[in-house]
Chain A
Amino acid sequence: MAPKLQLAIYWAAACGGCDVAILDTDEKILNIAEAADIVLWPIAMDFKYEDIYKMEPGSIDVCLFNGAIRTSEQEELAKALRARSKFMIAFGACAAWGGIPSLANLTNREGIFNTVYKETATTINEEDIRPDTNYPGPEGELHLPRIYDRVWSLDQVVDVDYYVPGCPPTPETIWTAILAIVTGNLPPKGTVIGGTKSLCDTCEREKTEKKITQFKRPFEIIADPKKCLLEQGLVCCGPVTRDGCGHRCTNNNMPCRGCYGPSEKVSDQGAKLLNAIASIMDVKDEKSAQELAATWEDPAGTVYRFSLAKSLIYDYKKGGE
């Protein structure tokens, strides 16, 4: 019998949904357990930092790393795991493109701290106490990880071999990825395990010429299930997003949220979508453009919902941490 796959699962700036998604493979989790020894999975089993540092370089076959990088601890662990793993996989939208946590890049550490520790209506913090990296406790000085000024995707911190997209990845996508690793049937480095076309391409809704006369939010209308959602005023990320998710949102009459990341030829998902939507707004002058744009709630959060860390703008704004 071939030696079992040494599998590590780690989470950084994440919600835990990716870990749950692995369990969501239902009975296949047993096949995973059969094929692999899980050497690290903090959400499910107890591990200490030392357990990782004791591992030899290359002793982990595959590391499924979910979550974005926004603290010194997460960066350190990402580097430690990278050094010990044959394959580093950015698992889920946060690890791949920064995900929802990277919307924090619309502001910075100071802005976030101001909101959380000062400005919200329910906050009472008269001494203006902020998180600190050092605390002189009675048992000696304690250290906490430092929060960075911006959020990074995993590949902005360490070398990544494959990407498993999704928020969270669907069981089918996870299984495809695991099967590829177990069978050794590996795609070229850098491959995103998903479709090769855009979601819009494989969407079966009826498309006509696009014109947006008013932006709608999903709760405001019951969309026609046969027609293109974008044409009904719902901002659907389908045109710029990779397929392979099984159209779970659009099949349920909800616009695509973009969690499978940019499609094959798209480098900046949000910029592309913003451009496309601006192109089909039915306006005749600047004034009507502004009026129509005002009916769109949170454009930046919509187009960059899962990929702000990989926005070109931030790539050229390097500096700081």
Chain B
Amino acid sequence: MSDHKIGVYVCHCGSNINGVVNCAKVTEEIGKIGEVVVAKDYKYMCSDPGQEMIKNDIKEKGLDRVVIAACSPRMHEPTFRRALEGAGLNGYLLEMANIREHVSWVTKDKEEATKKALSLVKGAVKRVKLHEPIEEREVPVTNTTLVLGGGISGIQAALQVAEAGHKVYLIEQKQYIGGNMAKFDKTFPTLDCAACILTPKMVDVGQSPNIELYTSSEVIKVDGYVGNFTVTVREKPRYINHDKCTGCGDCASACIMKNRIPHEFDEGLSKRSAAYIPFPQAVPLKAVIDDGNCLFLTRKKCTLACVKACGAKAINFNQHETIHEFKVGSIILATGFDLFDAKRAPQYGYGRYANVINGLQFERMTNASGPTSGHITLADGTEPKSVAVIHCVGSRDENYNKYCSRVCCMSSVKFAHLVKDHCDAEVYEFYIDMRTFGKGYEEFYNRVQEEGVHFVRGKGAEVAQIDGRLVVIAEDTLLGQYREIPVDMVILNTALEPRVDAEKVAQTLGISRSGDGFFMESHIKLDPVTTTTDGIYLAGCCQSPKDIPDSVAQGSAAAAQSLAIIATGKVKISPISASIDSEQCAGCRICIGLCTYRAIKLNEETLRAEINEAVCKGCGTCAAGCPSGAIRVSHFNDDQLLAQIEGVLA
């Protein structure tokens, strides 16, 4: 056993720690351990004088290991590592004992707190002796970016990266970009026409020399690591030759299936052909043939009227799916949301009563280029005289989603305004709480209140049909009364949910999801844009429900992350990683399926597992699962952990 010179520093953190833990006593006790040559307590170790103290002791007393008892290492481990490095000591010869979050903040019992703090510091002292100096690694990056999802946040991210002069691959699952925003009529709170502000951006995407757009496409495989991803994309055939198609729509008019297929873009409120243009402003403005409904593609039986009608000879039924492979430095995930299917809440009658619609259907209805040319109409074609808007359908509800979908209060208020504007019907809003945060939002709410909309504070409990009329049943909590309000039309403002394929996407990219199913950010407050996988960023509603300004802001933020990687030209990779002792590895493959980051592969020749250390995040799951103990995680190996436990229990 070699003799170490260990310095132990106990931080008061003002009174945060010292108010509960007797820091002086911890320092005194720990100073009695043989190899501890310096033991000091100080008001703020993270301050400049605190750090100087450590540096001086390292230089003057020749410390070779440092223990800092303070806050969570998530907070200041990098700070103290830099301090060690400033004095010429490898930053990983440091161990932090968390005596704030784990001790002083969780108890008021001073004696117990001091005892626990001392135990944790003893564990740290035992552990730090076994620390080894390790070096951070740098790898060069590819200066291209892949954006997954062509909604507003994906468009924003793609444009910003492209404008900075770097190549972007924009991948969209649908046949067009624009996402949900393209379906909207007006946007709150300014009532800007959604298409008017979105279309220019969509056109920019189509025209940018730096953006390669792939629609009808999805990512099927992601290999590699930050700066060096290889992404495999599957592009589905549209059966249209893009170079020839002029987007005239003659095929759509000629198609035998004309007006027979519910149109997804109009949320089923209109019918389309099997060959069709998704919507007039679509980018790319090219026809697409729906292989699920085209008679020729499904049954090989059709007069092929579309082929005859197409003057550009653009229709090609021999197209197959294409597989593309892109090398990119970073990936921006902007896959958006799905709308809660209101049929899951049968009490609202969606799908049973013709005049119960969801918010997106209402958006299409009010849109001038929508199925009713902007007229709010009932199923029988007449205008409603009264309309109910029910908030929180599928949100803030233990039965469906506990979270608040954030945008529905404002869009409900907007719906009320649009109803008033278009047909002057009576409007009843059923809300739990009115959440109109955001710039100009409360003002908009006040304006709509003045327009004579009835706001009923109480969740709409049920929509019934009584004597042929829709009736909304709710408890008005302000009046303390049960109410039944007959209306002609009900708009269900449904929750924003994680997309149905979110789990598949998470697995393909090797990222996590939070409890609500949305993709998980590194830190909910301070790092909402990055994921726990370096080089993969989040934008828009795939991270959590958000409105357009927030989606755009996050799109820009994700672009900035990606540009930052490109600007530095290289990325630092944490040196904490797992490695495999091929002598001990049995090739059992247990670890391979365990690695969330897909860093482990079986070498087909040696039949031993191999870890790509650049991809490895050092999480340790494989080391725990490895039955033969062949996997070792640097800085968190068994000897170190056992020593720490021994120290704590000593």
B590 touches A279 (CB 8 A): yes
Cα A320 to Cα B556 in complex, Å, equals: 64
Cα A263 to Cα B629 in complex, Å, equals: 8
Given known contacts A263-B584, A267-B638, A316-B645, is B590 in contact with A198 (CB within 8 Å)? no
Instruction: Return chain B residues, CB-CB under 8 Å to A144.
Output: none
A239 touches B588 (CB 8 A): yes
Shortest Cβ-Cβ A-B pairs, 8 listed: A265-B629, A239-B627, A201-B586, A279-B625, A276-B627, A200-B586, A198-B628, A240-B627
Verify if A273 is at the interface (C-beta below 8 Å from B). yes
Report 23 cross-chain contacts, Cβ distance below 8 Å, ordered by A residue. Answer: A196-B583, A203-B586, A207-B589, A210-B590, A239-B586, A239-B588, A239-B590, A239-B628, A240-B627, A240-B628, A263-B584, A263-B628, A263-B629, A264-B628, A264-B629, A265-B630, A266-B627, A267-B629, A275-B625, A276-B590, A276-B627, A280-B590, A280-B625
A200 touches B593 (CB 8 A): no
Instruction: Return chain B residues, CB-CB under 8 Å to A263.
Output: 584, 628-629
Chain A: number of interface residues, binned into ranges: 20 to 34
B649 touches A316 (CB 8 A): yes
Verify if B135 is at the interface (C-beta below 8 Å from A). no
Instruction: Return chain A residues, CB-CB under 8 Å to B629.
Output: 263-267, 272
Cα A197 to Cα B629 in complex, Å, equals: 11
Cα A312 to Cα B583 in complex, Å, equals: 25
User: Contact flags (1/0) for B609-650 with A, using CB distance below 8 Å?
Assistant: 000000000000100111111100000001000100100010
A197 touches B594 (CB 8 A): no
What does DSSP make chain B's interface, helix, strand, loop or mixed? Answer: loop
Contact of A273 among B581, B627, B642, B645 (CB under 8 A): B627
Instruction: Return chain A residues, CB-CB under 8 Å to B584.
Output: 197-198, 201, 263-265
Cα A264 to Cα B626 in complex, Å, equals: 13
Cα A91 to Cα B592 in complex, Å, equals: 37
B589 touches A266 (CB 8 A): no
> Chain B interface (Cβ within 8 Å of chain A)?
581, 583-590, 592-594, 621, 624-630, 638, 642, 645, 649
Cα A184 to Cα B493 in complex, Å, equals: 85
Besides A197-B584, A239-B590, 5 other CB < 8 A contacts? A200-B628, A209-B589, A228-B588, A264-B628, A266-B627
Instruction: Return chain B residues, CB-CB under 8 Å to A275.
Output: 624-625, 627
Cα A266 to Cα B594 in complex, Å, equals: 19
Instruction: Return chain A residues, CB-CB under 8 Å to B586.
Output: 197-198, 200-201, 203, 238-239
A-B contact number at CB 8 A: 81
Cα A203 to Cα B628 in complex, Å, equals: 13
Q: Which of B584, B588, B649 has its CB near the most chain A CB atoms (within 10 A)?
A: B588
Verify if A208 is at the interface (C-beta below 8 Å from B). yes
Cα A210 to Cα B627 in complex, Å, equals: 13
Q: A312 — nearest CB in chain B belongs to which residue?
A: B642
What's the nearest-Cβ distance from chain A to residue B650, in Å?
10
Cα A272 to Cα B645 in complex, Å, equals: 17
Verify if A118 is at the interface (C-beta below 8 Å from B). no
Q: B625 — nearest CB in chain A belongs to which residue?
A: A279
Instruction: Return chain B residues, CB-CB under 8 Å to A197.
Output: 583-584, 586, 628
Verify if A247 is at the interface (C-beta below 8 Å from B). no
Near B by CB (< 8 A), chain A positions 229-277 give 230, 238-240, 263-267, 272-273, 275-276
Q: B627 — nearest CB in chain A belongs to which residue?
A: A239
Cα A201 to Cα B645 in complex, Å, equals: 31
Verify if A86 is at the interface (C-beta below 8 Å from B). no
Cα A276 to Cα B583 in complex, Å, equals: 19
Cα A280 to Cα B593 in complex, Å, equals: 8
Q: A196 — nearest CB in chain B belongs to which residue?
A: B583
Cα A263 to Cα B587 in complex, Å, equals: 15
What's the nearest-Cβ distance from chain A to residue B627, in Å?
3
A201 touches B585 (CB 8 A): yes
